[in-house]
Structure 1
Amino acid sequence: MKKPLIAPSLMCMDLTRLEEQIRFFDDKVGYYHVDIMDGHFVRNLTLSPFFVEQVKKIATAPMDCHLMVTNPEQYVGPLAKAGAAMISFHAETANGQAFRLIDNIRQHGMQVGLVLNPETRLDEVALYLNRMDKVTIMTVDPGFAGQPFIPEMLEKVKQFKQFREEHNLKFQIEIDGSCNKKTYKFLLDAGADVLIVGTSGLFNNDSDINKAWAIMQDDINLALMEVEYA
């Protein structure tokens, strides 16, 4: 089984050690996951285009900006200018503008990702999945770190994998929420290509980022073996 790409959730990192941790991650990650929240779509405020601009001064790995905002179209230009490589918008904010929003993101030279809340079904977004580089399935409710995993989402991951195969599509399947040693096996077996790791999967493993990363890798390798020989 192919090893998954890793996307550290930067809202979970120790921001007092930002440069140290970004330099450590930079040749190891598939993406940096940057959560941008507006206090309206979700009841929290986190990172921003300014944060992306500052990280871009250090990072070379691509930044994927997860827009948990009511008006995603307002962020496209600022994030492109800041250096984002991908914008992932929520399906729940795109009704009536999804195709226009996708075109706008691509016209700004970025890749396009789609994020689905746990309640949002595949058939609600099927008409534009062929335009996606990545689909992120939320396995917790959006807005806050450290929430419990929703096991019903494993079937949803399988549905997206099957749809991708049946329609010969290329989007990656990414998981956002409670990716850790308790869930790696099930997520990889269901079809996950990219794992967003935050507090429980990476940063709380150890205060030393080298050790924390090594523990995470061991946990993922064990999960891969369990899936392979199940």
Structure 2
Amino acid sequence: MSKVLIAPSMLAADFGNLQRDIEMVNKSEADWFHIDVMDGHFVPNISYGMPVIQAIKKHATKPLDVHLMIEKPERYIEEFAKVGADIITVHHESTIHLHRTLTQIEDAGCKAGVVLNLTTPVSVLEDILPKCYMVLLMSINPGFGGQKFEDMTYNRVKKLRQMANEKGLNTRIEIDGGVTDKNAKALVDAGADVLVAGSYIFRSEDQSETIKHLKAVANR
């Protein structure tokens, strides 16, 4: 497997010092910026939109991994691409015509991925998986940071990795929610290779060192 990537979730950053936190991620061993977009409909919370992403992109030196927790994401794909998204993931549960939406993301010049909520079986991706650069498995209920990791995630990762292997695919599997150094290695052993961490990183005393430690644990 390729090296495990770390994607700090900017939802947990200090928005009063956003540029400072962007620079920290730039200088750290992190690989991507994880950007959670919430609309108050698909999930109860509201986060940020295009202007904030554009501001992050202006200072970021690493790819923007944009996770759309919004209804009918196909309405905004081109706009998110224009403001700097490099990877766009959409929830299987949020769009009726998933294949069309993934094609739309690719046509906008971004890598396309699908997100599954906790209780959506990975089997729904059987036919669409070859079109996915990445699958993001939620390990919490989406909408709020700081939630406890759900152990059912391990088995879901194993099932998805087995499905990808059987199809001869190198699909990246990303985990979002409650990721720490306590579960990172088990997630990687199950088949994950991108770990999103928000509160664990940004609430730590030395954020850069926490990223370094998490990456070392995951790639052990």
Per the TM superposition, whether the score is higher than 0.5 is: yes
State the match for 1:88 in structure 2. 89
The residue identity in structure 1 corresponding to 2:156 is K
Q: Deviations for 1:9-49, whole angstroms, at most 9, x for unmatched residues?
A: 00101112211221221253322111111100000100211
What is the alpha-carbon distance in structure 1 between the residues aligned to residue 214 and residue 67 of structure 2? 26
State the match for 1:153 in structure 2. 153
The residue identity in structure 1 corresponding to 2:169 is L
CA deviation after TM superposition for structure 1 residue 75, in Å: 1.5
CA deviation after TM superposition for structure 1 residue 3, in Å: 4.0
State the match for 1:228 in structure 2. none
State the match for 1:48 in structure 2. 49
State the match for 1:217 in structure 2. 212
Does residue 202 of structure 2 align to residue 203 of structure 1?
Answer: yes
What is the alpha-carbon distance in structure 1 between the residues aligned to residue 102 and residue 95 of structure 2? 10
CA deviation after TM superposition for structure 1 residue 62, in Å: 1.0
Conserved? CA contact 1:72–1:93, under 8 Å: yes
What is the alpha-carbon distance in structure 2 between the residues aligned to residue 222 and residue 175 of structure 1? 15
What is the alpha-carbon distance in structure 2 between the residues aligned to residue 223 and residue 65 of structure 1? 22
Which consecutive unaligned segments of at least 5 residues does structure 2 have?
A: none
SS of equivalent to 2:165: helix
Bigger relative CO (Cα 8 Å, ≥ 6 apart): 2
Quick one: percent identity of the two aligned structures? 36
CA deviation after TM superposition for structure 1 residue 182, in Å: 2.1
CA deviation after TM superposition for structure 1 residue 111, in Å: 0.8
State the match for 1:11 in structure 2. 11
What is the alpha-carbon distance in structure 2 between the residues aligned to residue 105 and residue 216 of structure 1? 29
Which consecutive unaligned segments of at least 5 residues does structure 1 have?
A: 226-230
CA deviation after TM superposition for structure 1 residue 55, in Å: 1.0
| TM score, norm. by length of structure 2 | 0.94
Conserved? CA contact 1:205–1:216, under 8 Å: no
CA deviation after TM superposition for structure 1 residue 2, in Å: 5.5
| TM score, norm. by length of structure 1 | 0.90
Q: Deviations for 1:95-137, whole angstroms, at most 9, x for unmatched residues?
A: 3x11111111111111101110000111112111100111101
Q: Residues 29, 215 of structure 1: CA spacing in aligned structure 2 closer, same or farther, 3 A cutoff?
A: closer
Conserved? CA contact 1:113–1:134, under 8 Å: yes
What is the alpha-carbon distance in structure 1 between the residues aligned to residue 51 and residue 210 of structure 2? 31
Query: Cα RMSD over matched residues?
Result: 1.6
Does residue 34 of structure 2 align to residue 39 of structure 1?
Answer: no
Q: Deviations for 1:133-175, whole angstroms, at most 9, x for unmatched residues?
A: 1110100000001111110110000111111111111210110
Does residue 182 of structure 2 align to residue 176 of structure 1?
Answer: no
Aligned length: 219
